[in-house]
Amino acid sequence: MNSIPVAPVFHGILVEEQVQFTLIELSRACGVEPHRLVALVEEGVVAVRTTVGIDATTKAPSESGTTMPFAAATSAAHSSPPARPPLSDADTRHWRFDGVSLRRARTALRLNHDLELNAAGVALVLDLLERIDQLESRLRRAAGTPR
């Protein structure tokens, strides 16, 4: 009997709306070592959305759902004695990134590698690209835009 195997259909998860990354997960998705992403966070290229469970025993529910810049994330970690050096695994383990960080981080890593830009240069380019996006979006909304 010849039965034709029915190929499964994959549905997938919409990253931008349904995914939060840990540092390790985002590193794996970007195909780089975590320290590369830590450098991007330090430069403000990629934002840590929130930190969860500063201590293994303590949850930080008040912080969930708010964008947390890196400085705030580390100072929160430092507020509990004994003071840890910044960017230890213990700190970064609690980082969570929005799904939209994937695109931003991958673009940043490409620019860093392909154009040999440092983190500050990458940050500037990303900001300018965002500005171009906004201007192009304004064009799209106007009548008679060439396509």
Note the residues at the interface with other proteins (CB under 8 A).
Answer: 7-17, 19, 28-33, 99, 102-103, 106-107, 109-111, 113-116, 125, 129, 137, 140-145, 147
Question: Hey, how many other C-beta atoms are within 10 angstroms of the C-beta on 32?
Answer: 18
CB 42 within 8 A of CB 91: no
CB of 64 to other proteins, least distance (A): 20
Nearer to other proteins among residue 62 and residue 137 (C-beta):
137
Nearer to other proteins among residue 28 and residue 59 (C-beta):
28
End-to-end CA distance of the chain: 54
Cα-based distances in Å from 92 to 9, 44, 96, 108, 124: 36, 15, 9, 19, 24
CB of 113 to other proteins, least distance (A): 4
CB 117 within 8 A of CB 111: yes
Nearer to other proteins among residue 41 and residue 73 (C-beta):
41
Nearer to other proteins among residue 32 and residue 73 (C-beta):
32
Spatial distance between the Cα atoms of 25 and 6, rounded to a whole number of angstroms: 32
CB of 47 to other proteins, least distance (A): 18
Spatial distance between the Cα atoms of 147 and 144, rounded to a whole number of angstroms: 9
CB of 120 to other proteins, least distance (A): 16
